[in-house]
Amino acid sequence: MKEVNYKHLRFNPFTLIGDEWMLVTAGNAVSGCNTMTASWGHLGSLWGHDDPTAVIYLRPSRYTKEFVDREGRFSLCVMDPSFKEQMGYLGSVSGRDEDKIARTGLTPVYADGTVYFAQAKLVLVCRKLYAAELQEDGFLCRDIIEANYPRRDFHTMYVGKIEKVLVRDEEYLMH
Ligand SMILES: Cc1cc2nc3c(=O)[nH]c(=O)nc-3n(C[C@H](O)[C@H](O)[C@H](O)COP(=O)(O)O)c2cc1C
């Protein structure tokens, strides 16, 4: 994989996250890692001119959240559509119950202060800047609560500074 400047990336962030999905992964080489599929998140700019950021949302029940909370960094991996079945599995079974990574055959690469997958097409290495649970009082549209949080298990929002971008091929690069 090759490191690129985030300014040279070209893709639709809405479809990239919402339709292609991504893997949120955290951990370290000593105690291991966990990963899960995510389709909620944002890419943009916050708190500085040269500070690309990624925002992700993790429910309290996710095993991956324990790893993200423990570590200073997490990674976001975009996979080829041929991995859709594995991503469905990684997004429906918990790493508490099965060795998900071994079962999918993905290869964790411990590098850059975090962990990502050798098979990823695009990797964003993120350093955590901010984490906070969504607050019930903050919802201006109450319908969202009933639709998504009948058990009031609000997501925690994490803002990560994108420290490094790795790409496998030219697909995501401007020409
Ligand atoms: C397409 C898809 C998108 C998902 N997006 C999110 C998300 O953005 N945030 C979240 O907390 N869970 C999301 N999930 C659910 C987790 O991936 C799922 O609960 C997973 O089994 C958690 O695994 P873990 O317990 O090993 O962390 C998504 C699942 C799928 C299939």
Handedness of CA 161, 164, 167, 168 (dihedral sign): negative
> What is this structure's pTM?
0.98
148-161 pLDDT, tens digit each: 999 999 999 999 99
Tell me the CA–centroid distance for residue 108 and ligand 1, in Å. Answer: 19
Between strands 22-28 and 73-78, the pairing is antiparallel
Please count the helices (runs of H) and the strands (runs of E) in the chain: 5, 10
Please check the confidence at residue 145 and state whether its pLDDT lies above 90: yes
Q: 25 in ligand 1 pocket by Cβ < 6 Å?
A: no
The 10 Å Cβ neighbour count of residue 82 is: 8
Phi–psi pair at 50, nearest 5 degrees:
-115, 40
pLDDT for residue 50: 82
Q: Is 59 close to ligand 1, i.e. is its CB under 6 Å away?
A: yes
Per-residue pLDDT tens digits for 33-82: 999 999 999 999 999 878 899 999 999 999 999 999 999 999 999 999 99
Decide: 39 in ligand 1 pocket, CB within 6 A: yes
Q: What is the pLDDT of residue 175?
A: 78
Separation of CA 38 and ligand 1 centre (Å): 5
